[in-house]
Amino acid sequence: MQVTTIRARNIFDSNSYLLQAEKGFILVDTGVATRRSALVAALKDAGCRPGALRLIIITHVHTDHVGNAAFLRDKYGAPIAAHGAEMGAAEHGDMFWRPHALPVAARLAKVASTLAGVVRFEPFVPDVVIGDGQNLAPYGLDATLLHMPGHSPGSICVLTSEGLCFCGDLVRNSHGKVRRNRIVESRADYEASLARLRTLPITTVYPGHGEPFRSELLQTVF
């Protein structure tokens, strides 16, 4: 399967991934709004024009992954898929909006993100609510969506039948070292998700930040 990596190249350096599907494309994450024109140019270069995008998958509702979600839905006519636990944040355009009090660890991240001015984004109501084990066959891709909470309540991974795993911010590749994320809303959920990730039939991991890496490196995460 053809995968096009689109790097935001800003302070976040977040990745979007364009996956070739049957009769079109699926986009995993959308980067930041300030890099919108570069994202659109990359989609065009890859042959993805309005009408050819079948689905926009949001690995989790953090500003560096959803900055162009509403825009792309309008421009390309593609539905947005996100996990139910991220709906409130998406609808409020606030990556730390929760229906309950924010856990202590996330409160610190919220303060830092507020100071950096990156908490808010253009709000959107997802069209497709992702459930654990949901298959992407209706969108032309042999892949499964997995609920992997911890970094945020509704974080998900995309696992293709070929063993490619788009893991969002569950782990990141920092210059060849695979690291845990520093933002963890639920430590128990996070460790369970990481343990589950290690059991999956993965060949290559495509993280939200950093270069793709071989699955063997998941055994060395620290």
- Maximum pairwise Cα distance, the chain: 45
Segment lying near Zn ion (by CB under 5 A), choices 10-18, 118-126, 187-195, 211-219: 10-18
83 contacts Zn ion (rule: CB under 5 A): no
Residue selected from 32, 35, 48, 64 as contacting Zn ion according to rule CB under 5 A = 64
Residue 32 structure tokens = 């930041």
Partners of 115 in beta bridges: none
Q: How far is the CB of 154 from Zn ion (least distance, A)?
A: 11
Give the separation between CA 30 and CA 64, rounded to whole angstroms: 8
Distances (CA, A) of 173 to 24, 77, 177: 29, 32, 6
Q: Could you give phi then psi for residue 206, rounded to 5 degrees? A: -110, 100
The window from 61-69, 78-86, 134-142, 185-193 that contacts Zn ion (CB under 5 A) reads 61-69
Q: Where are the alpha helices (DSSP H) in the chain?
A: 36-45, 63-66, 69-76, 87-92, 104-115, 187-199
Q: Are 29 and 54 in contact (CB under 8 A)?
A: no
Residue from the set 19, 124, 165, 169 that interacts with Zn ion by CB under 5 A: 169
Nearer to Zn ion, 42 or 58 (CB): 58
Residue placing its CB nearer to Zn ion in the complex, 64 or 86: 64
Please tell me the count of residues contacting Zn ion according to CB under 5 A: 5
Rounded distance between C-alpha atoms, residue 78 and residue 69, angstroms = 10
Does residue 126 bind Zn ion (CB under 5 A)?
no
**Quick check: 207 binds Zn ion (CB under 5 A)?**
no
- Closest contact distance (angstroms) between CB of 52 and Zn ion is 26
Minimum distance from CB of 183 to Zn ion (Å)? 6
| Least distance between Zn ion and beta carbon 198 (Å) | 20
Which positions lie near Zn ion, rule CB under 5 A?
14, 62, 64, 169, 208
